[in-house]
């Protein structure tokens, strides 16, 4: 089991351009890059919660692309909350072996970009019902 302190928040670099800025999400030289397995987006509808999930092996890098999201990490001792949104330009590194979930805080569907260092496998994921971990969302 990893500690909630192993979750890492990194500010993204922005390259300004008159026709629209560029945001650098992750490159292969960065410490948070642990390999490329797959990339996907997760929608999260207004007021909805997706929780709880635990990856046995996969490390994730997450970026909120649209809307506002609260992430909650849990290491069986403590909770850690990270609230981020599309304008904040932050990346969250989530190591394997940590329970987490997230809730949409915006008035419309939010979108999270996830880069996993391994291709998805159900064998690698543990899940718990929302109510099985007592947390005030």
Task: Please report, as ranges, the residues that interact with a second copy according to CB under 8 A.
Answer: 17-29, 33, 35-45, 48-50, 65-66, 104, 109-111, 113, 115, 119-120
Q: Buried b vs exposed e over 38-63: b needs ≥16 C-beta within 10 Å?
A: eeeeeebeeeebbbbbbbeebbbbbb
* C-beta of 4 vs 117, nearer to a second copy: 117
CB of 19 vs a second copy, minimal distance in Å: 4
Q: Please answer whether residues 46 and 109 qualify as being in contact, where contact means their C-beta atoms are separated by less than 8 angstroms.
A: yes
* C-beta of 38 vs 81, nearer to a second copy: 38
* C-beta of 1 vs 21, nearer to a second copy: 21
CB of 85 vs a second copy, minimal distance in Å: 14
Residue 130's CB is within 10 A of a number of other CB atoms, namely: 12
Distances (CA, A) of 99 to 29, 67, 129: 27, 23, 12
CB of 64 vs a second copy, minimal distance in Å: 12
């Amino acid at each position: 089991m990893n500690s909630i302190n192993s979750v890492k928040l990194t500010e993204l670099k922005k390259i300004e351009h008159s026709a629209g800025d560029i945001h650098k999400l992750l490159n292969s030289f960065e410490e948070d890059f642990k390999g490329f397995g797959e990339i996907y987006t997760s929608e999260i509808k207004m007021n909805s919660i997706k929780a709880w999930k635990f990856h046995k092996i996969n490390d994730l890098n997450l970026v909120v692309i649209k809307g506002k999201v609260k992430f909650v990490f849990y290491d069986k001792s403590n909770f850690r909350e990270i609230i981020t949104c599309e304008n904040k330009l932050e990346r969250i590194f989530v190591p394997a072996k940590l329970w987490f979930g997230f809730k949409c805080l915006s008035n419309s569907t939010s979108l999270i970009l996830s880069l996993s260092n391994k291709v998805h496998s159900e064998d690698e994921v543990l899940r718990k019902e929302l109510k099985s971990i007592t947390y005030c969302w």
